[in-house]
Structure 1
Amino acid sequence: MRAILGQLITLLPHGPVALARVVDTTGPGPREPGAAMIVTESGEVHGSLSGGCVEAAVVASAREVLATGHAVTDRFGYSDGDGFAVGLTCGGEIEVFVERIRPDRLSLLSSLRQRIGDGSPVGVATTMDARPEWKLLLPGGADPWHGVDRDARALLVAGRSGVVGADECEADSSPRPRTFVQVFAAPARMILAGANDFVRALSRTGRQLGYRVTVVDARETFATAARFPSAHEVVVDWPHRYLRAENEAGRIDGRTVVCVLTHDAKFDVPTVVAALECVELGFVGALGSRRTHTERVERLRAAGVADEQLARLKSPVGLDLNARTPDETAISIAAQILAERGGASARPLDDTEGPIHR
Structure 2
Amino acid sequence: MKDILGDLVRRLEGGGAVALARVVEVSGAAPREPGAAMVVTADGRVIGSLSGGCVEAAVIETAREVLETGVCVGERFGIDDGIAPGLTCGGEIEIVTEYVGAKRLPLLRQLRALVEAGEPVALVTTLSGVSDWALLQPGEPGPWPQIDGDIAALVRSGRSAVAGADRCEPDQSALPRVFVQAFAAPPRMILAGANAFVRALSRTGSQLGYRVTVVDAREVFATPAQFPHADEVVVDWPHRYLRAEAEAERIDGRTVVCVLTHDPKFDVPMLAASLAVVPLAFVGALGSRRTHLDRVARLREQGVTDAQLRRLRSPLGLDLNARTPEETAISIAAQIIAETSGGSGRALSDTDGPIHR
**Shorter-normalised TM-score: what interval?**
0.5 to 0.7
For 1:72, which of 78, 97, 111 is the aligned residue? 97
Q: Identify if the C-alpha distance between structure 1 residues 310 and 102 changes in structure 2 by more than 3 Å, giving closer, same or farther.
A: same
Which residue in 2 is equivalent to 1:218? 217
* Equivalent of residue 148 in structure 2, options 95, 105, 110: 110
Shift, 1:107, TM fit: 4.8
The equivalences for 1:1-358 within 5 A come to 24-25=3-4, 31-32=5-6, 49-50=9-10, 53-58=13-18, 64-67=68-71, 72=97, 100-101=130-131, 106-107=144-145, 110-111=148-149, 114=152, 120-125=156-161, 134=178, 182-358=181-357
Paired residues of 2:72 and 2:99 also in contact (CA < 8 A)? no
Shift of 1:184: 3.1
Q: Distance in 2 between matches of 1:268 and 1:283?
A: 15
* Structure 1 residues 293 and 50: CA distance shift in structure 2, 3 A: same
2:189 and 2:239 mapped to 1: Cα distance? 15
Cα distance in structure 2, aligned partners of 1:68 and 1:200: 45
| Distance (whole Å) between structure 1 residues aligned to residue 191 and residue 99 of structure 2 | 39
Displacement of 1:277:
1.0
| Distance in 2 between residues matched to 1:263 and 1:248, nearest whole Å | 26
Contact map agreement 1:65 1:98 (CA 8 A) in 2: no
Which residue of structure 1 lines up, in the alignment, with residue 38 of structure 2?
none
C-alpha displacement at 1:56, in angstroms?
2.7
Q: Distance in 1 between matches of 2:264 and 2:248?
A: 26
When normalised by structure 1's length, the TM-score is 0.61
Counterpart of 2:97, as a letter, is V
Opposite residue 148 of structure 2, the aligned amino acid is: S
Quote the Cα distance in structure 2 between the aligned partners of 1:296 and 1:23. 41
Structure 1 residues 56 and 278, CA gap change in structure 2 (3 angstroms): same
Distance 1:222 1:328 in 2: 22
Contact 1:195/1:215 (8 A) holds in 2: yes
- Say whether the 8 Å CA contact 1:258–1:275 is kept in structure 2: yes
Unaligned 5+ runs, structure 1? 1-21, 26-30, 36-48, 76-96, 137-181
SS at match of 1:317: coil
Structure-2 separation of matches of 1:291 and 1:68? 61
| Aligned residue identity for 1:187 | P
Tell me how far 1:123 sits from its aligned partner. 3.2
Distance across 2 between alignment mates of 1:65 and 1:229: 46
* Residues 193 and 215 in structure 2, CA contact (< 8 A), matched pair in contact too: yes
In 1, the alpha carbon distance for the partners of 2:146 and 2:228 equals 39
Give TM-score, length-normalised by structure 2: 0.61
Cα displacement (A) at 1:208: 0.7
Across the aligned residues of Structure 1 and Structure 2, the Cα RMSD in angstroms comes to 3.5
Q: Is the 8 A contact 2:72 2:131 kept in 1?
A: no
Shift in alpha-carbon separation, 1:122–1:65, aligned structure 2, 3 A = farther
Q: Deviations over 1:30-65 (max 9, x none)?
A: x548x8xxxxxxxxxxxxx33853453249987745
Residues 67 and 99 in structure 2, CA contact (< 8 A), matched pair in contact too: no
1:215-238 alpha-carbon deviations (Å, 9 max, x no partner): 001111111111101101111110
Change (3 A) 1:133 1:340: farther
Q: Is the 8 A contact 1:121 1:184 kept in 2?
A: no
Q: How big is each residue's C-alpha offset from its partner over 1:301-338, in whole Å with a ceiling of 9 and x where there is no partner?
A: 00110111000000001011111100110011001001
Write the letter of the residue equivalent to 1:106. W
